[in-house]
Every structure is written in C-alpha cells, then in structure tokens.
C-alpha cells in the first residue's frame, strides 16, 4: 500500500508544482494586461479589456473534467501524448491560467491609485510604475493568490486519474472507492489535508513576512 | 514661473475648469482655495501634466506643458515635486526607500553615496532622521506627510505642488507642516503651489492666492486683500457660519489694516464725536504671516446710519454693510 501511495503523492506534488509554475508565468501576462487596460489603469482600453475579460470568464466557467477532455488534441500537441502525469500538466495549467489571471489582477488593482499617481507625478514611466509600484505593493497579494491557486490545483489534480495521470486522488478513487479499501481512502485523504494545510500555512507565513 | 492662460477643461459635458488665468512667480507660496469639487485639484494636476487640458495654455518657464512629448514631460515632472492629502507612500518600503523611489525612477542607485547623502539630508530637514527604517504603517499622519515632503524634494525640484496636503491632519500638526513648508520655500527657494479648502492654511503661509468656484477663478490677490476687505468676492466662502448679527438696525463691518490700535481708537472717537451709541457685535484679529489684520462689526440704529458711514468714509476706513 505504501509504495502505491508514495508514488501517487509524488505524482500529485509534480502536477501541482508544475502546473502552478506554468500557470503563474502564463497567467501573469493577461493579469498585467487586464490591470493596465482597465478603466482606472495606466493605459485604459475598453476593447482589449472587454475581450480579455470575456475570454477569462469563458475559460473559468468550464468544469475541469470537461476542459480536460475538450483540450485533448491541444494536450497531445504540447506534451506529445494525451495521457500520463506529464500530459496532465497541460489541462491543469490551462484551467489555472484564467484563475491566476484573476487573482493577480485583483491583487494588482488593489494597489492604491494614489501611489500610481504619486509615481507618475515624479515622472516615472509605465514600465517603472509596473516594476517599482504595482509589483512591489501587490507582492503579498500575489503570493496569497498563488497559494489559493495551488490549493485549487490539488483539487483538480485529483481528477487527473481520468487521463491516467495518477496522483493521490486517483488512488483514492480506484483503490479506496471502487475497490472499497477503506485504508487507502483514509490515508490519501489525510495526506491531501496535510498538503493543503502545509501550503496554506506557508502562504500565510510568507504573506505576513512580506506585508 | 508658472503661467496659466484661459485654461479650459471638460469631462465629457461637464466643465471643470473655465477660462482660468493665473500667474505664479518664482518664490511665491501660492494658494489655490475653493470648496470641494471646485476644480482646484484638477488645476493642480494639469500643471503637473497628470491630466490634459482642452484649451488655453500652461507654461512653466516658458515651456507649454501640452506641447511636450512623453520624455520631455517626464523631465518637467521631475522638476515639480508633489505631495498629497493621503501621503501616497508605499507601505512595503521603509522611510528611506520611499524617499529614494523618485531617484530610482531616474536611474540612480538608492545606496549610491550621493543618493544616500541627499536622502539623509532631506530626512534630517523634515525631522525624521531617526525613523529611517520605519515603515509608513508605523508613523503618524504628520510623520507620513514629512516623508512625502522629503520624497517630493529628492529630485531637487523648483516647484512643490501640494494637493490638500494638510487636510487629513489635525490643527497642530497642520501648523508644523506649514512651518516646514515655508522654511523650504525660504531656504531652498522653492516655489510652492498649494491647493486647499482650509482658509487657515492660506492665511498662515500663502503670499498670493486664487479663489476658485465652479471651475472659475473668481479672485486673485494677496490673502489679506481678499480676506480682510470690504465687498470681497470671496465673502461667502469666508463668512463664519457661527457669526451672529442683530436683525434690527444696520450692521456695519469695518476693516483694520496693520495698525490695529489706531483703528481701535477710531471707534471710541467716532462715538464721542458723533455723540451716538452703537453695539459692537463681532470682532476678530487674524495673523497673516506676521501681519495682524482685523475686522469689527457694529450695529447702529437706522437714523445714525448716514452719519456713521460718512464718518468712516471721511476717515478712510474700509467698511461694508454686514
């Protein structure tokens, strides 16, 4: 039993960390564009903001399990195959990007507009304002957002079993639920709880330290 | 130094600035006063290039703000420091780093010896040399504004723009900040433009002022001329809400300039010479950066009105019906 669970735990860690990494990098871009083009942003642009806003909403409305199936051709294109732990990174990342975009946008737009104005009044360029004001002030909020994303991804990764990605959720369903082996169900659940607690605690600690 | 001519600005259909013309000279502490929503902050933001204007012109040392390209505007902005009602400090930076921020915008290292010397000098000037490592959250409102002042001075500006800089502070702290600002004006020869709705601020330190109402500049002049003068266009703004004058008879307000005691005896002399009685209803003395100015309201009966007013006019004492 422990071999199976250890292996699954590593698969979960792999999927969560991998997809968090990619989705933060890729989600950051739309977050920044949304912030800049928002009506109160540095470069207000109703069209770009509107279109991107709708796209983000559309992607967020797909249930993960459906999204995973729909984008199988895309997954194959990126990962070379459509099943396995590595392939699961693609749908996990795709589903997390709009979420990341939203939480980072929220953090960035939470920066007091007075600070932006003050920076402008000293002749700062947009790039400097992004780097030295937006990112600096929003950093703790961004960290909270990433924490939230990781915890969400733990939940999503449990569905990875549907495309043969393994992971703790898969073990819980196949061994615990379908084969009715209660210990598997209990142990995987406990490990997932520990994961979530751990991530949240680290996130909170970082947030406090950074504030 | 700053010349504003026939400035107009609209937000959609709402006119916020209407045909404003002002001239601010080197070394002035220029107060722009008016009620909330009068357009005074917008005017300040136009001077700084934070907001565009529709018609008219703003020139600073001969350069038209609207004609500058982005780079030139940034350079112009670096020569104007600005402080705000809500201080607008970065909460995650300590005092030193907040002051260093504009230097970093202009490509200077915050810990370069030259930067360090300047920042420490300014923090000393504003009296915060022992709070260098503090975060804004650990400072009081007055201290935060002092940090903001140091930050506004770090690029060696020629002009300091203050947007309701003391409106969030209590009266004693306001006084301290104003003292600091006039010291900066005097010692560093920095022209100051202050937008405020607080009369006390203008009275305390401004050498010139403009009163803005509904986007229009109603009156421009020295504060003592506008505040303590008969039939001033800004009377409605200045009027003390607690002022109470009798309903019967005629109320006359006389104005003193400089020599209050001489004017004082006028009252008693007038009573003697005209052999009439009147009630003194209201009197006040105010300090305009050192000059004492005052006014006195008296109530006379209808039949004595003619005698009193002609007496005052004859003695060259400014007066008005109150």
Q: Which of B189, B223, B257 is the last residue of a domain?
A: B223
- Tell me which residues of chain A, numbers 79 to 138, contact chain B at a CB-CB cutoff of 8 Å: 112, 114-115, 117-125, 128, 132-133, 136-137
Assigned domain for B188 exists: yes
Which token pair is B180?
Answer: 């600091």
The reply to whether B154 and B301 lie within a common domain is no
Q: Is residue B87 part of a domain?
A: yes
A98 Cβ contact list (under 8 Å, min separation 6): A27, A30, A55, A56, A57, A59, A60
Is residue B235 one of the residues assigned to a domain?
Answer: no
B138 shares a domain with B11:
yes
Q: State whether residue B239 sits within 8 Å of chain A by CB.
A: no
**Residue B251 belongs to a domain:** yes
Q: Hey, what are B273's tokens?
A: 């010479």
Contacts (Cβ under 8 Å, ≥6 apart) of B177: B142, B145, B146, B149, B165, B166, B169
The per-residue DSSP string of B211-238 comes to EEETTEEEEEE-HHHHHSSTT-TTHHHH
Minimum CA–CA partner of B83 in chain A: A118
B277-302 b/e (C-beta count within 10 Å ≥ 16 → b): ebeebbeeebebeeebbbbbbbbbee
| B136 and B191 fall within a common domain | yes
pLDDT tens figures, A45-55 = 999 999 999 99
Domain that holds residue B244: 240-321
On chain A, the residues whose CB falls within 8 A of the CB of B101 are 119, 122, 132
Residue B92 lies in a domain: yes
What single DSSP character describes residue B158?
S
Domain extent at residue A154: 2-210
> How many Å is the maximal CA-CA distance in chain A?
67
- The reported pLDDT for the residue numbered B245 is 79
Among chain A residues, the shortest Cα distance to B94 is held by A211
Q: How many folded domains does chain B comprise?
A: 2
Chain position carrying tokens 């420490």: B120
Q: Which of B158, B193, B223 is the last residue of a domain?
A: B223
Which of B73, B90, B106 is facing A115, going by the closest CB pair? Answer: B90
Residue of A117, A132, A137 with shortest CB distance to B91: A137
Q: How many CB pairs under 8 A join A and B?
A: 65
Each as own residue / partner, the long-range contacts of residues B106-113 (CB below 8 Å, 24 or more positions apart, any chain) are: B106/A123, B106/B78, B106/B155
CA distance A109 to A106: 5
Cβ contact (<8 Å) for B155 and A125?
no
What domain count does chain A have? 1
Structure tokens at A21: 């990494």
Residue of A nearest to B72 (CA): A123
Chain A residue with CA closest to B161: the answer is A121
Q: Are residues B169 and B310 in the same domain?
A: no
Q: Residue A98: is its pLDDT beyond 80?
A: yes
> Does B150 map to a domain?
yes
Residue at which a domain ends, from B223, B258, B288: B223
Whether chain A has a CB inside 8 Å of the CB on B74: the answer is yes
CATH of the domain at B309: 3.30.70.260
> pLDDT, tens digit, for every residue of A100-146?
999 999 999 999 999 999 999 999 999 999 999 999 999 999 999 99
Pair (B174, B74) in one structural domain:
yes
Per-residue pLDDT of chain B (322 residues; tens, 9 = 90+): 999 999 999 988 888 999 999 999 999 999 999 888 888 999 999 999 999 999 999 999 999 999 999 999 999 999 999 999 999 999 999 999 999 999 999 999 999 999 999 999 999 999 999 999 999 999 999 999 999 999 999 999 999 999 999 999 999 999 999 999 999 999 999 999 999 998 888 888 999 999 998 899 988 988 887 877 766 777 767 666 566 778 888 888 888 776 555 556 778 888 888 888 888 888 877 777 767 777 888 888 888 888 888 888 888 888 888 7
| pTM exceeding the 0.90 threshold for the entire prediction | no
**B55 and B170 share a domain?**
yes
Nearest to A123 among B77, B84, B89 (CB): B77
CA-based nearest distance A167→chain B, Å:
39
Contact B19, B13 (CB under 8 A): no
| Domain CATH code at residue A100 | 1.10.3720.10
Which ranges in chain A belong to alpha helices (H)? 2-37, 46-61, 64-70, 72-79, 85-109, 113-121, 126-128, 136-157, 168-171, 182-210
B50 lies in the same domain as B152: yes
ipTM, 2 dp: 0.84
Do B60 and B204 have their domain in common?
A: yes
pLDDT value at residue B103: 96
pLDDT score of B225: 79
Could you tell me the pLDDT band of residue A152, with boundaries at 50, 70 and 90?
very high
How long, in residues, is chain A?
211
| CA separation for the pair A145, A100 (Å, rounded) | 7
């Amino acid at each position: 039993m422990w071999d199976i669970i250890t292996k699954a735990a590593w698969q979960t860690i792999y999927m969560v960390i991998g997809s968090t990494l990619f989705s933060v990098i890729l989600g950051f871009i739309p977050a920044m564009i949304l912030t800049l083009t928002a009506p109160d942003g540095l470069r207000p642009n109703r069209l770009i903001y509107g279109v991107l806003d709708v796209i983000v909403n559309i992607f967020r409305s797909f249930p993960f399990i459906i999204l995973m199936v729909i984008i199988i051709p895309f997954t194959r294109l990126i990962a070379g195959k459509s099943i396995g732990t590595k392939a699961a990174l693609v749908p996990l990342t795709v589903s997390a990007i709009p979420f990341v975009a939203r939480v980072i946008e929220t953090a960035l737009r939470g920066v007091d507009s007075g600070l932006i104005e003050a920076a402008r009044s000293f002749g700062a360029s947009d790039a400097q304002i992004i780097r030295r004001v937006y990112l600096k002030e929003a950093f703790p909020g961004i960290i909270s957002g990433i924490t939230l994303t990781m915890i969400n991804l733990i939940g999503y990764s449990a569905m990875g079993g549907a495309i043969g990605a393994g992971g703790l959720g898969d073990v819980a369903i196949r061994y615990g639920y379908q084969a009715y082996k209660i210990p598997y169900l209990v142990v995987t659940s406990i490990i997932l709880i520990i994961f979530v607690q751990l991530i949240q605690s680290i996130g909170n600690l970082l947030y406090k330290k950074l504030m | 130094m700053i010349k504003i001519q026939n400035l107009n600005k609209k937000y959609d259909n709402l006119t916020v600035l209407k045909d404003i013309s002002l001239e601010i000279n080197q070394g002035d502490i220029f107060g722009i006063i008016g009620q909330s929503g009068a357009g005074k902050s917008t005017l300040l933001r136009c001077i700084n290039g934070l907001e565009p204007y529709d018609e008219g012109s703003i020139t600073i040392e001969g350069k038209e703000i609207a004609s500058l390209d982005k780079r030139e505007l940034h350079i112009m902005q670096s020569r104007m420091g600005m402080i705000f009602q809500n201080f607008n400090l970065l909460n995650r930076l300590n005092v030193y780093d907040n002051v260093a921020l504009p230097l970093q915008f202009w490509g200077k290292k915050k810990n370069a010896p030259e930067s360090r010397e300047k920042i420490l000098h300014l923090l000393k000037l504003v009296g915060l040399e022992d709070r260098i490592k503090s975060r804004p959250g650990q400072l009081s409102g007055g201290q935060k504004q002092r940090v903001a002042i140091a930050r506004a001075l770090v690029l060696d500006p020629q002009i300091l723009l203050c947007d309701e800089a003391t409106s969030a502070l209590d009266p004693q702290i306001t006084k301290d900040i104003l003292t600091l600002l006039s010291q900066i004006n005097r010692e560093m020869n920095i022209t100051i433009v202050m937008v405020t709705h607080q009369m006390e601020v203008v009275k305390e330190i401004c050498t010139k002022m403009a009163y803005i109402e509904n986007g229009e500049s109603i009156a421009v002049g020295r504060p003592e001329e506008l505040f303590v003068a008969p039939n001033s266009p800004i009377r409605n703004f200045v009027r003390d809400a607690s002022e109470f004058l009798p309903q019967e008879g005629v109320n006359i307000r006389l104005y003193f300039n400089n020599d209050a005691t001489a004017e004082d005896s006028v009252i008693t002399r007038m009573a003697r010479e005209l052999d009439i009685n009147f009630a003194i209803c209201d009197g006040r003395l105010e300090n305009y950066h050192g000059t004492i100015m005052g006014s006195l309201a008296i109530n006379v009966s209808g039949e004595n009105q003619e005698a009193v007013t002609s007496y005052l006019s004859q003695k060259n004492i400014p007066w008005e019906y109150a």
